[in-house]
C-alpha cells in the first residue's frame, strides 16, 4: 500500500499558465523526490495597463512517501 502526501505550491510566470505549472513542478522537484502528479487547483492573472502581466497557478502536488 502506498501513502501519498499532497502539498500546495503557488507559482507564477510572465509567459503562460503552462509555464507557471512547469516552473512550480521543477522547483518542487529540487527538494521532493517521486512526484507523481499535479492538479491545477486555480488559475489567475495580474493585470497592468490593461494587459496580462503575470500568470499564476495554485498547484496540488502529490508524491509517495516511504
Give the pLDDT confidence score for residue 23 in this predicted structure: 97
Could you give the C-alpha distances from 25 to 40, 47, 50, 58, 65, in angstroms and in order? 11, 24, 29, 11, 17
Q: What is the DSSP letter of 24?
A: H
Options 3.30.1660.10, 3.40.190.10, 3.40.50.740, 3.40.50.720; which CATH number does 3-65 get? 3.30.1660.10
Buried b (16+ CB within 10 A) or exposed e, 17-28: beebbbbbbeeb
Give the pLDDT confidence score for residue 66 in this predicted structure: 81
Give the pLDDT confidence score for residue 38 in this predicted structure: 96
From first to last of its 66 residues, the chain has per-residue pLDDT tens of 789 999 999 999 999 999 999 999 999 999 999 999 999 999 999 999 999 999 999 999 999 998
Sign of CA dihedral 56, 60, 63, 66: positive
Amino acid at each position: 500500500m502506498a501513502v501519498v502526501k499532497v502539498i500546495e505550491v503557488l507559482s507564477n510566470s510572465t509567459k503562460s499558465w503552462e509555464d507557471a505549472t512547469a516552473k512550480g513542478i521543477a522547483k518542487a522537484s529540487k527538494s521532493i523526490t517521486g512526484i507523481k502528479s499535479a492538479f491545477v487547483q486555480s488559475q489567475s492573472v495580474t493585470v497592468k495597463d490593461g494587459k496580462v502581466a503575470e500568470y499564476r497557478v495554485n498547484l496540488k502536488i502529490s508524491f509517495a512517501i516511504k
